[in-house]
């Protein structure tokens, strides 16, 4: 599936979706706030429905805003009902290491047929357990892992081997992408998907030597017309 656009900006989604180079969109409360989505759940709902409709049938990941077990289930069911292509993000555990989230993930996937993107993971072992619980996607934060002094590529390779060897359905998403280099590097390591903000996708596409070459072609074409 390759690249998911990491944004809540409608215009950016339109721009890159028209190019045919993204395979989904991911958001979270921090991204939506940064992109100006305020006004509580009503505003989130309206904005999410617009994004989902724009990219359908490609997947859109949205995140619950609570870590209370019952509230997560209620929110996830509501969000999944906004559009058929919505996946719901649940963090692998709570802010103090609470373990209820794994039960929520398992219940949503097995009892409510809701596709879950388990997020905020930093290791292969976390991803394995999330995949065993039934997650559709397991998201490891590559940039943050690297910032801790570890190379996330080793974790990606471990996760991919475990998922393939045990026949688990989960697809690996690597997020928290910091550099253009990360995108192809992490996909090559075995990630099914890498998330990228718009400026990183632009960085993949635009090359200074390509700009120089195109300019030369145009200048030479103009000279040829005048000759």
Strand-pairing partners, residue 175, are 141
Catalytic residue status for 89: yes
Give the C-alpha separation, 8 to 107, whole Å: 28
SS3 7: coil
Give the C-alpha separation, 188 to 35, whole Å: 31
Q: Which of 89, 211, 223, 226 is catalytic?
A: 89
Q: Is the dihedral of CA 205, 210, 215, 218 positive or negative?
A: negative
Give the C-alpha separation, 153 to 89, whole Å: 23
What backbone torsions phi and psi does residue 20 show, to the nearest 5 degrees?
Answer: 75, 25
E strand or H helix at 15: helix 10-19
Contact 13, 25 (CB under 8 A): yes
Q: What is the C-alpha R_g of the chain?
A: 20
State the catalytic residues.
89
């Amino acid at each position: 599936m390759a690249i998911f656009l990491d944004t809540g900006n409608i215009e950016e989604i339109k721009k890159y979706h028209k190019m045919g180079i993204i395979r989904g969109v991911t958001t979270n409360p921090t991204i939506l706030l940064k992109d100006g989505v305020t006004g509580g759940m009503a505003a989130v709902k309206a904005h999410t429905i617009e994004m989902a409709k724009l990219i359908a049938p490609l997947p859109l990941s949205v995140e619950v805003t609570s870590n209370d077990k019952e509230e997560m289930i209620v929110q996830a069911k509501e969000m999944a009902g906004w559009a058929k292509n919505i996946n719901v993000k649940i963090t692998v555990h709570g802010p103090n290491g609470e373990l209820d989230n794994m039960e929520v993930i398992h219940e949503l996937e097995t009892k409510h047929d809701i596709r879950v993107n388990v997020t905020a993971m930093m290791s292969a072992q976390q991803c394995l357990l999330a995949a065993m619980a039934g997650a559709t996607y397991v998201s490891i934060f590559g940039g943050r892992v690297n910032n801790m002094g570890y190379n996330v590529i080793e974790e990606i390779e471990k996760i991919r081997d475990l998922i393939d060897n045990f026949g688990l359905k989960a697809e690996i998403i690597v997020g928290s992408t910091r550099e253009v280099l990360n995108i192809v590097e992490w996909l090559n390591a075995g990630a099914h998907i890498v998330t990228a903000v718009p400026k990183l996708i632009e960085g993949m596409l635009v090359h200074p030597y390509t700009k120089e070459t195109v300019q030369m072609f145009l200048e030479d074409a103009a000279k040829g017309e005048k000759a």
